[in-house]
Amino acid sequence: MPEKGKKQTKPQPTEVHLAKPVNIRFDPGERLGRDKPVAFSLRPAGGQESADQALWVVIRNRVIKWEQYEDFIKTIMCVKDPKLPGSLSSDDKKVLDRRSLPFADIDAYRRLKAGTELFMMSRCAVLSDVYLSKVDPVVITVEEAERLNGTDPSVTNLDGLWKSYLQNSEEKTDPPIQTLPYLAMIRRRLGELPIKDDVEAADRCYGVLRTRLSSPCFLELIWSYWQEEGMLVQTLNAIALRFQNRRGPQSRDPLANFELDPLRPLNNILWGYIQDEQHRLTLARRAYEYDHHYGVSLQGRAVPTLRPADSRSQFIEAFHNLLHVCTTQFYPQVDDMTVNADGFPVLNALKEVHLLLSEGAHNAYGDLPWTARQEMLMQQWIMARPEIREFLAGRTSIAYPEPWMDRVDVMKRMQAWSDVSVMHFRDLAVFGEQILLSIRFGNWNNETKRQRAHNWAVYWRSEIQGYIHAYRAATGVDLTVAPVDATMPAVLLQRRLAEQRRAA
């Protein structure tokens, strides 16, 4: 019996924790058998913060995006007043003035080519300044915070994580060279070589490029591969042939209505594009490098027979195995809030993919992805011009993310190339690039903590599942089904095209 005169207090709910942070609240005052049920609530476990999370945020902010490129090129091709926001600085104009081509009357094309190169240079940020940059700072948005285990943007100290993640090079330089742990490890292996700062200094004409340590460009050749499989290059090649009054292999001319009047700028830009063909990458050069990076190749009548010296024959299997492990093993455990997800299988798969990417990062790795990206960005910009839409008018009701995409789909229907939308190939390019960049520049081979792999899989879940969906839509292969399909994508696309033509 309670003592008289003392205030009675209601028993407080008790909180019980299971192996994974799961909140189960019950009231001791409740009794079994009553009509009111006991209320339970589950909450996902928060991950442990790791410094490499900052790298993933930087990658998502620093990869080349179409919208940024389009806005930048407008300042090159359209803006005249230097006081307008987004206009060029005096240094930028000097870069434009130094670029020249040995052809007459192609100034518009020259500015497009030089402007594209200038834009790409602007995306190669100095690592130590990515958060401090006043021109293009890395912003921790709500979306980024949700990816980082659902934390609040106001309390997410990515700046501190980023500074703790970067490592100083062993050289005593002013300012010190800050670089990624993976690149710092490579630098230590080349410790006998000096840092090359000034190309005009005779005693430093041989050494390690400072910019490759302090300002790596987040470019991945897989972006160009999927754009090429999506028929971006072939579409502009067909237009260029018709511009020169050259008929394709068909008995009838699919581009019979192609007419560009000389009063609008695209006419002159296409003229310069065709004249500059000798200075662009050939199909064979790109195909050889696709094989060197990822063990993939192109197939088609225009693709020459290749004899590669070094191929990543295991990459497709390793990469698809990583995606398979994430979607069939790890994510179901993450969604089951009564267990702790095991990150070790993901970590082992990450190590395998990182090793293969590292093996392919030689010879033309530094320059060919840069050149291929520059050329394909220009092709996208030309395809997005309103003059092209006059004879390649797409379906208005389809909400294409980028304005050049409907033109490619129209050309594919006209030429009977493929009925797979270019949107799937664009998603493969965008998602694949970000996933592989986070693996390539991470120091995964020296990693032993499963929590790092846990954080990686959670952060990149949208890209991983988006890539798997786009891959199934483009090739017909579901990467969530065992055993993992390691067939070369070009073979799968050729099979689907053959089935499409038989059905027609």
Mark whether 102 and 131 lie in a shared domain. yes
Highest mean pLDDT of the ranges 67-71, 146-150, 426-430: 426-430
Strand 195-196 relative to strand 167-168, pairing: unpaired
What is the model's pLDDT at position 92? 63
Mark whether 198 and 249 lie in a shared domain. no
What is the model's pLDDT at position 289? 96
Is position 64 within any domain?
A: yes
**Domain containing 104: what range?**
53-214
Mark whether 251 and 388 lie in a shared domain. yes
Mark whether 391 and 492 lie in a shared domain. yes
What is the model's pLDDT at position 191? 78
What is the model's pLDDT at position 486? 93
Q: Which two tokens stand for residue 353?
A: 């993919």
Task: Report the alpha-carbon distance of residue 423 to residue 227 in Å, rounded.
Answer: 10
Is position 303 within any domain?
A: yes
Tens digit of pLDDT for each residue in 185-223?
Answer: 998 888 788 787 655 554 556 778 788 888 889 999 999
Mark whether 61 and 141 lie in a shared domain. yes
What is the model's pLDDT at position 128? 77
pLDDT at 117 over 50: yes
* Residue where a domain stops, chosen among 156, 187, 214: 214
Task: Report the alpha-carbon distance of residue 504 to residue 502 in Å, rounded.
Answer: 5
Which tops the pLDDT comparison, 377 or 146?
A: 377
Burial of 56 (0-12, 13-18, 19+ CB in 10 A): buried
Mark whether 160 and 245 lie in a shared domain. no
254 pLDDT band, cuts 50/70/90, is confident
Percentage of the chain exceeding pLDDT 90: 47
* Residue where a domain stops, chosen among 196, 214, 232: 214
Which tops the pLDDT comparison, 15 or 128?
A: 128
pLDDT at 132 over 60: yes
Is position 26 within any domain?
A: no
Where does 133-180 have alpha helices with state H? 142-147, 158-165
What is the model's pLDDT at position 5? 54
Is position 105 within any domain?
A: yes
Least confident of 75-79, 98-102, 423-427, 453-457: 98-102
Residues with Cβ < 8 Å from 397, sequence gap 6 or more? none
Burial of 185 (0-12, 13-18, 19+ CB in 10 A): middle
CB distance 224 to 423 below 8 Å: no
Is position 30 within any domain?
A: no
Tens digit of pLDDT for each residue in 10-65?
Answer: 555 444 444 444 444 445 555 545 555 656 566 665 567 788 888 998 899 889 99
CA distances from 104 to 101, 275, 327 (A): 8, 10, 55
Task: Report the alpha-carbon distance of residue 215 to residue 213 in Å, rounded.
Answer: 6
Mark whether 280 and 428 lie in a shared domain. yes
pTM of the model: 0.86
* Residue where a domain stops, chosen among 149, 182, 214: 214
Mean pLDDT value across residues 102-126? 84
Mark whether 182 and 258 lie in a shared domain. no
Pick the closest to residue 128 from 155, 159, 153 (CA basis).
159
Average pLDDT, the chain: 83
Is position 14 within any domain?
A: no
Task: Report the alpha-carbon distance of residue 214 to residue 184 in Å, rounded.
Answer: 10
Rounded to 10 degrees, the C-alpha dihedral 472/324/464/51 comes to -170
Report the SS3 class of residue 196.
strand
Count of domains for the chain: 2
Which tops the pLDDT comparison, 209 or 299?
A: 299
Mean pLDDT value across residues 416-427? 94
Q: Which two tokens stand for residue 354?
A: 């990182």
Is position 11 within any domain?
A: no
Mark whether 177 and 230 lie in a shared domain. no
Is position 256 within any domain?
A: yes
Percentage of the chain exceeding pLDDT 70: 79
Mark whether 164 and 242 lie in a shared domain. no
Mark whether 209 and 303 lie in a shared domain. no
Mark whether 298 and 151 lie in a shared domain. no
pLDDT at 260 over 60: yes
Tens digit of pLDDT for each residue in 304-363?
Answer: 899 999 999 999 999 999 999 999 999 999 988 888 889 999 999 999 999 999 999 999
